[in-house]
Structure formats: C-alpha cells, structure tokens
Amino acid sequence: MTSRHIPSPSRRTVVRAAAATAAAVPVLATSTITSATAGSQVAAPAFLHGVASGDPLPDGVLLWTRVTPEPGAEPGSGRGADTPVRWEVAEDREFTALAGSGTTLASAASDHTVKADVRGLRPATTYYFRFTAGGTGPGDAEVRSPVGRTRTAPATGATVAGLRFGVVSCANWEAGWFSAYRHLAARGDLDAVLHLGDYLYEYATGGYPTQGAALREHRPAHEILNLADYRLRHGTYKTDTDLQALHAAHPVIAIWDDHEFANDAWSGGAQNHTPGTEGVWEQRVAAAKQAYFEWMPVRASTEGTVHRRLRFGKLADLHLLDLRSFRSEQASIGNGSVDDPERTIAGRAQLDWLKAGLAGSDAVWKLVGTSVMISPVAFGALPANLLGPLTGLLGLPKEGLAFSVDQWDGYTDDRKELIGHLRDRGIRDTVFLTGDVHMAWASEVPVKAATYPLSPSAATEFVVTSVTSDNLDDILRVAPQTVSTVASAAVRTANRHVKWVDMDSHGYGVLDVTAERSQMDYYVLSDKTAKDAASAWVRSYRTRRGTQKVERVDRPVR
C-alpha cells in the first residue's frame, strides 16, 4: 500500500454521542443521558450482535452496538429495560489514553441499539472503541463489548497518497456463509468497506434461493413486513461471526438497494409486495427504514435516506445514492417506455444534488456508489437456456429486450442527463461502484453505446459480484464456467464497452486509489457453502487518470 500522509492538526475537544435514532442527535460528551428507568436492574446485559463503525469523517466516526438487556430480549421483541451504555475511543487497543468517551441509553424505542457520533478525533488515524453496560448497582455485573477498530478519513484539504476500500454487495443469509466478510476483516490495509446494497434479504425461509435450498434459515421464517420483523432479520444477520468480524475491523459505508425493503422496490411499491394481504407499502417502507437506521452504522441524510457525500482529502469524493426511494415504477408492457423523460431512477432533487456535487468537486477522483448498473447492457445471440436466467439476474423482460428495467437501462433519460452533464461540464475521472447483479463487471460508460468506441466514454464502472446470492451457475445448478463462457462472450460481443464479466463467482472487490489511477482487484471464494472457504485473486482492472478507459492489470495491488 502506498504510504499515507497523516497531517497533525491541533486536537479538537468536541466529542458527541447519540442514541440510535434516524437523526442520531448529538449531545456533549460530558453529559449523561438519563431517564426514569436508567437505573433499573437488568439480568446480565450482553453484546450479542457485535460492534460496528461507519461513515468516517476527518474528525470523527459513527459507532454502533446493540445491548441485549436481559435473556429473551431479542431484536424486535420490545423486551428489556432501558440500559445506560458507556462508549470509549482510544488510539491504543489497551485504552490507556482515551480520545473520547460518553454515556448514552439503549432503549426499546430504538430496539436497544446505540449510536455514538464521535467527533474531535485526528484525521487519517486508527482508533479502537468499545462499549460497557451494567455495573449500576449491587450484584449488577459490568459487561464490556468486543473491541472494534476504526479509522478516520484524511483531512479535507490533505494531499493523500492512496486509499483502499473493500467493496461488497448482495449477502443472502440462506444462500451461503459470509466468508467474503472474514477475508476482508483479516486485511489491515483498508480505509473502509463499501457495502453497495442487499445487506439482507426480505424473503421467507426457502423463498430465495430456490425452494428448499436454504443453507441456514432466516428469522423470522416468514417474509418480513413490519418493524418487529425487520428488526429481527437485521439482528439475525448480525449474529454471523464473519459479519461481526468485518464490522469490528473496519468502518463500513453502506447504502441500501431493494432487498432491505422488498424485491424490485420503487417509490410506490415493489414486485415482492402485495397491497392488502401484505399491508400498506408506505408503512412497510417506514418500518424497513427505521430498522435499517437503528441497526446500521449509517448517518441518514436530511431526507431520511442514504444518499450522502463523504470526502477523503483531495484524492476522492464519494457520492452515495439512494436508487429506491424516489424512482418511478419499473417499465413493463402497458406501463410506458424506458425512454419516457417523466420516469426517473434517482428523483429530480437527488439527480440535481449528484450533478452539483460532481461539478463542484475538486477531488482527483469522483467515486459514485450506485446500487444498480449504469452501463448499458444489450444481448447478442444467446441460447434460450441462458437467456432466461440472465434476464432474471439483470431484471430484463423475459422476451429478451436489450435493456434491464431495474437498472439505469430502464431509466434512460436520467442516465442520458447524467452522462451529458459529465461530458458537457468536462468532469473527468468519475468511477461508478456497483453491486446488485451477482456478477463482476469492468466497463466503460459510453456516451452513445451504439457507436462505441467511436463515441467516447464519459466514466468507468466496476461492479462487484455477490457475497452469497445466486448467480448463473447457482441458478442452472452447474459447475462454474460450464455455460458462462458462452454467455459472457455474447454479452461482450454485443457490448464492446464491457471489458470483462464473470457470471459464476462469489466474492468481493478491493478498490485501490492513487492520484494516477483507480484499480479494482477482484477476489473470489472457493465455495460459498463452506464456512472455511478460501479467497483468491482472479482479475484486476484499472482506469488511469484522465482517460475514462478500462484496462486489465496482471496483478493486484500489494
């Protein structure tokens, strides 16, 4: 890894904490939140869901945990007394010299989750954090959480030699073990991990993957619909030891996609939501969002969504999108055209926010976290047995039309406006980072796909495959590479801007950014159904500064 530039500004003294609410309202570190029940005795409080950090800033980071105040007080149950929780941050694992501390309250109102928005830290610095509960009265034992490690972002105006991010997406509890998280947790060279959506899945047990193929069963067993359901599903995922290890090792920067709500969600509904029998969509969304902000180390935007912007010195601005809350319904027969300018994937306000942020950025790299692919995808001649599974993964109509209605392909006017903005304003070095499709891609984003390469590229896109969610070989129940070579060749022939696609593997990416280039190293797992699955590097692609081109690299960044 390239050496880091670590500035040494004067130490700020403000440290703020907050209970886990969507807004995470800060309070002074010297104050202690109290209530009528703050001193209530609870039986053996425990930290059963690990610790986490996220959304690093130059002077701070968001810390998270969940307290189980008494036996049986599982997520979503509403059981258990309000529990005072102390948090501590230090630059050493032994906590010999605290950089900050405070006390907050874990209550049933927030599902006994806690967030502390800590400020006053030094830029580009590794910190350790922990939580303590109990010990408030005679016979009440004090219990400490596991120790977490986190890292602040570089100073806003700092010249940064390099950044490195883990990149993941699409982790279905029932489809496999989260070994990808374990391998990322073991790395000591990451500034943060980007989770690009589908952190969890909403289906009933056995509903996805195919019926009866669940490796381990969801809780609750039914499809999640209300607040208690979403809370329990989040809590179930956070009992996974590999996921706990990831959150304890690195700050996580997350956005949601559809399965945090329901499959193919849009602003007014979802493919996997039936009004009447499954309630009112707006109530389901409100429950899903509340549980998400309670259980994830994420700062909500002022609109209560996940679109926000983080800066990493002068090297990179990271623009994070919410492509579910504002989008129009996916196109289908009798429901309008993908080219209809009245239809949107981002929403007017968010698209304007993104355009302004890209135009106003003075960072070398403009990174955009987008949960669904922006690169256009058309299909050449494919056998019917391959076209069906691929249309399912990409959200294509089964008739095989050359667009994906759940991706930016289904909302071409928004894409045309954004790509035109990049071209007309001379905005270079924009890299889209994407998940969702359970395949790995490295592509250029052409101004006009039909005339590429005569038409230039406006940006590049790196798509990571799924942690566990089914891809082509899983769906067809064949060995990897058995049929995907035919399908990937057809895709690349019809889409010359696509430089590589892997339709079979599960794994993760590591994005390494310097002033000269952004490089994605792709890693795959030996077997998603094995708890001890190995990880191996398979490919690397990079885009050089100023080129908007993607080229293959013969080795990962060391």
Q: Give the pLDDT of residue 421.
A: 98
Q: How confident is the model at residue 346 (pLDDT cuts 50, 70, 90)?
A: very high
Mean pLDDT highest for which of 32-41, 488-497, 514-523?
A: 514-523
Average pLDDT, the chain: 88
* Shared-domain flag, residues 174 and 144: no
Same domain? For 243 and 341 the reply is yes
CA nearest neighbour of 45 among 148, 135, 146:
135
- 382 lies in some domain: yes
Identify whether residues 134 and 281 lie together within a single domain.
no
Summarize the chain as % helix, strand, coil (round to 5). 20, 25, 55
User: What was the pLDDT predicted at 376?
Assistant: 92
Residue pair 70/46 in contact by the 8 Å Cβ criterion: no
Which domain CATH number covers 78? 2.60.40.380
The reply to whether 346 and 213 lie within a common domain is yes
Using alpha carbons only, how large is the chain's radius of gyration in Å?
23
Residue 325 lies in a domain: yes
Residue 146 shares a structural domain with residue 171:
no
Q: Are residues 137 and 167 in the same domain?
A: no
Omega before 251 within 30 of 0, i.e. cis: no
Are 31 and 55 found together in one domain? yes
The dihedral built from the CA positions of residue 3, 182, 94 and 66, taken in this order, carries a sign that is positive
The reply to whether 308 falls in a domain is yes
Q: Is residue 11 part of a domain?
A: no
| Alpha-helical segments (H) within 339-382 | 348-360
Question: Per-residue pLDDT tens for 14-68?
Answer: 333 333 333 333 332 322 222 223 333 435 799 999 999 999 999 999 999 999 9
Tens of pLDDT, residue by residue over 90-106, are: 999 999 999 999 999 99
Is the whole model's pTM more than 0.75, yes or no?
A: yes
Same domain, 136 and 174: no
- Shared-domain flag, residues 197 and 63: no
Q: Which residues contact 105 (CB under 8 A, 6 or more apart)?
A: 19, 33, 34, 35, 38, 82, 83, 84, 85, 114
End-of-domain residue from the set 123, 151, 179: 151
- Residue 197, pLDDT score: 98
Residue 83 included in any domain: yes
8 Å CB contact between 151 and 107:
no
Task: Show which of 102, 119, 151 is a domain's final residue.
Answer: 151
Are 113 and 55 in the same domain?
Answer: yes
Domain membership of residue 462 as a residue range: 163-553
Domains in the chain, number: 2
Angstrom distance (rounded) from CA 89 to CA 84: 17
Kindly state whether residue 7 falls inside one of the protein's structural domains: no
Q: pLDDT band at residue 1, thresholds of 50, 70 and 90?
A: very low
| 392 assigned to some structural domain | yes
Is 210 found in the same domain as 119?
A: no
**Residue where a domain stops, chosen among 151, 178, 207:** 151
Tell me whether residue 9 is in a domain.
no
The CATH number given to whatever domain includes residue 304 is 3.60.21.70
Q: What is the pLDDT of residues 305-337, one digit of tens each?
A: 999 999 999 999 999 999 999 999 998 744 558
User: How confident is the model at residue 400, as a pLDDT?
Assistant: 33
Tell me the C-alpha distance between 478 and 476, whole Å: 6
Strands 142-144 and 113-118: unpaired
Are 275 and 253 part of one and the same domain? Answer: yes
Average pLDDT over residues 245-256: 98
